[in-house]
Structure 1
Amino acid sequence: MPSPWSEFSIGLVVNPIAGLGGAVGLKGSDDPRIQEMALQKGAKPKSGERVTAMLAGLRERIRDRNVRFLTAAGAMGETWLAASGCAHDVCFHPTTGHATTADDTRSAVRAISSRGVDLLVFAGGDGTARDVLDAAEQSQVVLGLPCGVKMYSGVFVVTPIAAAELIAAMILGERVGGESAEVRDIDESAYREGRLSSKYYGELVVPAAHEYVQATKVGGIESEPLAQEEIAAGYAESMDDATTYVMGSGTTVGAVMRHLGLENSLLGVDVVRGGQCIAQDVSSSQLLKAIAHGPSKLVVGVTGGHGFLFGRGNQQISSEVIAKVGRDDIDILATRTKLAALANQWLEVDTGDANLDRRLQGIYKVRSGYEDFLLVQVGRRS
């Protein structure tokens, strides 16, 4: 979903009782009965302290940058943001008070993710990660702040300061990788009996804290043709026969067409379905007919030195076509070399519809290799 604000927007959901059972040896706190036992043993919630540390580190790094938080009331986020002096809006009020439930977490995530934020940060453990997986929009970029007892999932940063550094990098427009990370959880009852049983539940898109090492580098410098071939191979594997693919102009999208063994209109727009090119060098009206039935995707590269996705060399992909397909089904392909050479740190859109241009703003996952992705801003932030 696009961000409704001109500034960078962050969703914050805190599980106030995350990690409650750890210090008193109860090995988890998902079960309300265990939460009560932990409190009786003198356990103190730690998530608020860790969120406060993250926010302090973030404020120190971004200074006067425009950032707005969208959060839940009370200890689920509002309390810590207000104490840290961070601008925020509250869009969810839990009905259970301080002892929030998994349903509260899921409801808060739905309320925030559906409103549109560039990054959703949650504070909790593996149980909280499962709730986020259940409720977040599919394309939502997520980051976990570790506060629980069980943290076997790959969605967590190491420390609150590491979270602050990574979020600051995104806000400041630095190139940050993006990848799918596993959400895993263990059986708490088995864990208390000394048996470790970890289960896979799904994956979330997270900003990558490490630097990617490209297999396409020659002598330390990325080879553009080889990088395009890797992008093409990776994207081709992701395609399915039921979806209509609107293939934009340019050499990177052209590499996908070559990989598929299809003829390509290098400066035009083609349509692919079922592994076949069903229309070449099409007009906007032809595109509207092609995407009228069934799922569809827009596959675009980056055009020009200022990094345009729409409005430069692919006007056939009109504002009507883009609105019909929707933001979540825009797939961007670009090599790291191409992105590094841009005049700006963000990508541009010029659809001819100012409202649509605003709705298209936000963080996108850009495929930059076979399984490599970067998180890149579309639309300039104020």
Structure 2
Amino acid sequence: MERNWPGWLAALTLILGAGCKMAGPPSPMNVLFIAIDDLRPQLGCYDLPYMKTPNLDALAGQGFVFDRHYVQIPTCGASRYSLLTGHRPVSPRYLSNDVFAEAMSGQPEQEAPESFVHDLRRHGYVTGAVGKISHAPDGRVYGYSDVPTEVREMPYSWDYLPEVYGKWGTGWNAFFGYADGSNRQSRDKQVPPMEVQPGPDTLYPDGWITEAAIALLDSLDVSGKPFFLGVGYFKPHLPWTVPQKYWNLYEDADIPVTPVPDIPDGVSPVSLQQSGEFNQYLETSEHPDLEHPASPAYARQLRHAYAACVSYIDAQVGALMAALERRGLMDRTLIVVWGDHGWHLGDERVWGKHTLSEYALRSTLLMKVPGLEHQARHIGQPVESLDIFPTI
């Protein structure tokens, strides 16, 4: 399978090329890559003033906002595989969450790098990741209910890959975790799709990820080499579990409903899906699908939960930015914020991803390049996740 790098991202390549030629930042730059699960372009910087995302908006104000960024596949593992390898999905094996386990893990090292992280590592970078960068929440190959293994999804990419399990015990338990340490698997799906509890950010796993990422940043910074740090946040993936203070940023009435509540004319229901992922959370007052849309009141509550989770992650990004500032790294670190795909929030009667709709394929992409803050702007031309490999 060959990499196919179209010319759509000429603007992005010029941005980074200009950055390398400037006298300010040293070359090579450090890279902070922040992957946020299920993050559609629902931030204040995407002209959504009701969203409370001050840290991501501030980052966008110093960088580049890609208004029409599209992923290759609206499925977590497959989208991440395409991003990291620069490969288009040319056969069914590349469309599933198992693609890292089947196509990369356990393979002998090849002349071609397994990922752009591997390529950076070969060129002198020290690399580390916390959270969900490939498919598993800790970069290891095991099932949702299994004991973690030491087998890595990306065997040649990482110098550091710490385990951040907390009270949940495993990465997958944390990914589907609740405040009491339980998870969707241990409760046999008898769980709600959302939970709001008072407490600190570490009440839920993403707060732990931030603390571990800042600790890893210290190790990478003292290495004497340029570094690549991947930080993969779980929210706003289901379940929408969030500390109370972020829920309190919104009122249900302030959350707009979808402008496309019904299946558009000319769109076959076969091209959509029955919100199967959402309906695995069995403790819920409604089970919406294409034939039974969510009530307006319940839809607003669900959209409220999603917005609160986005604000929770915004606070985590703010903590990472503060850590870079304290260490004097902001002026020599390229920052990329990427959503692995979009998500229907009742749009076209779907709650979930896994469609070829704009709602599932379009996601967040922000980039801050040291020395180019004065050129910050929105970029309206279409771009795709596949282009990030050759750009970085």
TM-score range normalised by the length of the shorter chain: under 0.3
Query: Does 1 or 2 have the higher relative contact order (CA < 8 Å, sep 6+)?
Result: 2
Q: Which has the larger radius of gyration?
A: 1
Pick the structure with more strand per residue.
1
